[in-house]
Structure 1
């Protein structure tokens, strides 16, 4: 099954879904996911403000997205480990993922070469990929948040309460083509 999944390392629900996708692929599920970067900070930027990927600083998570995209596009064999490590830096360790030193530690913990990732980021191609991914998701599928699953012409925003649960994800993937249900939202969150 081919599908896209949007992500931003700032969002814990994106992590829950991303880890389910990664776990399913590792289990051998017949999935061909496309990981699509979507900046939550950009989604909350006024039209008259500069795009977040063009700002020189901030706590927007853009630098982490660029590091993830460098791994995705230039070192796909290490992307799953880097993807997990960048989420962990934010959500397990509570780190500032706009800090290059933090990103270097995360990438190193994933067994990747932080100098190689930084070199790709310095070229600028991950910044361009972020802009392209975000604009495509917003323009083509009207994406407003993460994680959103993309299948054909349809996009479905989902929030998993459990992290990395492959069976939860399979249930959602099985429902993606069912377009008669627009919204199913609990009024309270059981915990």
Structure 2
């Protein structure tokens, strides 16, 4: 079994692409043990003279959804993969507002998750504390600065996959296996960026 972690923030289209590959690969039977790690792009973009986003979560457009995703991951793990994918689609395919509880609540209900319980955990502050702890752990242990970052053992890399796998599980598995293998097999490869994007 291959064990790795990957960070997410539902606002990022590249996180959407990477996580769709992970989800499609898992659906296709990939032998992966994946840890999904919430990471706040809002906090990353806080200026030095500003208060942390944790102190003003309503100022951030993605933090509510991030908390809801974490709630599902930890309290309804059997529903997480489906809800996780649906939250990305709600933002990027449907143009939904991740600050709108009605949008998030529908995704949760469609996934069989109690939306009231999720929002109660948001309102009591416990989910914000948990998101902050995982975000800060990723920063302190692996110098993470963005999403999606793949983490395997002590190695971490920010990765942009330019395509969406759709229902092609074999392609998704190959893409993620390649990414994870590079983390372990090519430690001297620090940056590999194409000069242009093919159509």
What TM bracket, shorter-length normalisation? over 0.9
Residue number among 158, 164, 167 corresponding to 2:174 in the alignment: 167
Q: Is the CA contact (8 Å cut-off) linking 1:52 and 1:60 kept in structure 2?
A: no
How far does residue 23 in structure 1 lie from its aligned partner after superposition? Answer: 1.8
Return structure 1 stretches of 4+ with deviation > 3 angstroms.
none
In structure 2, the residue matched to 1:188 is: 196
Q: Is the CA contact (8 Å cut-off) linking 2:8 and 2:37 kept in structure 1?
A: yes
| TM-score, normalised relative to structure 1 | 0.93
| TM-score, normalised relative to structure 2 | 0.90
Within the alignment, does 1:93 sit opposite 2:90 as a pair? no
Q: Which runs of 5+ in 2 are unaligned?
A: 166-171
Measured against aligned partners, the alpha-carbon deviations of 1:127-160 in whole angstroms (never above 9, x if no partner) come to: 1111011111111111111100011111011001
Q: Is the CA contact (8 Å cut-off) linking 2:76 and 2:113 kept in structure 1?
A: no
Q: Is the CA contact (8 Å cut-off) linking 2:70 and 2:127 kept in structure 1?
A: yes
Separation (CA, whole Å) in 2 of partners of 1:55 and 1:100 = 18
CA RMSD of aligned residues (A): 1.5
In structure 2, the residue matched to 1:134 is: 135
Within the alignment, does 1:31 sit opposite 2:38 as a pair? no
Separation (CA, whole Å) in 2 of partners of 1:149 and 1:56 = 26
Q: Identify which range, 20-29 or 67-76, moves more after superposition.
A: 20-29
Superposed counterparts of 1:1-191, under 5 Å:
1-164=2-165, 165-177=172-184, 178-191=186-199
How far does residue 188 in structure 1 lie from its aligned partner after superposition? Answer: 1.7
Aligned residues: 191
Separation (CA, whole Å) in 2 of partners of 1:60 and 1:138 = 21
Q: Secondary structure at the match of 1:163?
A: coil
Separation (CA, whole Å) in 2 of partners of 1:175 and 1:66 = 31
Change beyond 3 A, Cα 1:59–1:94:
farther
Q: Which runs of 5+ in 1 are unaligned?
A: none
Q: Identify which range, 76-85 or 53-62, moves more after superposition.
A: 53-62
